């Protein structure tokens, strides 16, 4: 009888170890997949091959000196937010995603710069490019909540909007993340970056957006 109990105990321990090993291996595979995905995004954003004859060509802003395309999106609370709401302000439009590693490097800089320059008329809008299941209401609700939770964990202090896949098109299609547009007080796109930009470049573009059109705004007032 005791032997049977011992066999059962050994069997239970063996099964427990097998289950633990399975969970550990699954988590490791998921982490490796996430790392590979983040690495691919970073390589695509920073090292995508240029067309023949343009190997050394810098990123070209598709909306340079053009009016930023208008849009209205819902934020993570369900409130409608329009670009037109920020007329007369400098706006940073940061297209990002919760799984994007380079985005998570830039976001703390954007939150700091948002605080630093808000009094001068700066607004930062984070536009989530996470994949959404628009045909499944339950799944969509869960995905939106995950975006909101991620924004909270990243301590984002500016509005986070959820792209309905129609907004990214007029902004050039958004082929890599992060992609960031800098809009001046007159609504013109005066700079754009694709991939991970350093903090100094971000701040320089913010100052440019704040200063561009400032005299025209003062004259109008």
Active site residues: 100, 103
Q: Would you tell me how many other CB atoms lie within 10 Å of the CB of residue 109? A: 16
Among 158, 137, 135, 162, which residue's Cα sits nearest to residue 147? 162
CA distances (Å), 79 to each of 43, 93, 158, 161, in order? 35, 18, 14, 9
Can you read off the two tokens belonging to residue 99?
């799984």
Tokens of 180: 């960031």
| Angle made by CA atoms 60, 66, 72, in degrees to the nearest 5 | 105
Q: Considering only CA atoms, which of 189, 34, 23 is closest in space to residue 98? A: 34
Determine the angle formed by the axes of helices 2-47 and 101-117, rounding to 10 degrees: 60
**Residue 67 DSSP symbol:** B
């Amino acid at each position: 009888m005791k032997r049977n109990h011992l066999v059962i105990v050994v069997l239970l321990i063996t099964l427990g170890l097998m289950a633990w090993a399975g969970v550990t291996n699954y988590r490791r595979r998921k982490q490796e997949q996430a790392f590979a995905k983040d690495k691919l995004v970073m390589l695509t954003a920073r090292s995508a091959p240029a067309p023949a004859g343009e190997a050394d060509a810098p990123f070209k802003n598709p909306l340079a000196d053009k009016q930023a395309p208008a849009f209205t999106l819902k934020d993570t609370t369900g409130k409608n937010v329009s670009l037109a709401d920020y007329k007369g302000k400098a706006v940073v439009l940061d297209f990002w995603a919760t799984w994007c590693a380079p985005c998570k490097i830039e976001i703390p800089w954007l939150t700091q710069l948002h605080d630093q320059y808000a009094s001068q008329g700066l607004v930062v809008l984070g536009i989530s490019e996470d994949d959404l299941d628009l045909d499944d209401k339950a799944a969509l609700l869960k995905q939106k909540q995950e975006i909101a939770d991620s924004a909270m964990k990243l301590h984002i202090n500016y509005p986070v909007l959820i792209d309905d896949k129609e907004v990214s098109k007029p902004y050039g299609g958004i082929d890599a993340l992060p992609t960031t547009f800098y809009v001046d007080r007159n609504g013109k796109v005066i700079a754009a970056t694709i991939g991970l930009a350093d903090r100094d470049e971000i701040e320089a573009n913010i100052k440019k957006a704040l200063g561009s059109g400032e005299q025209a705004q003062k004259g109008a007032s």
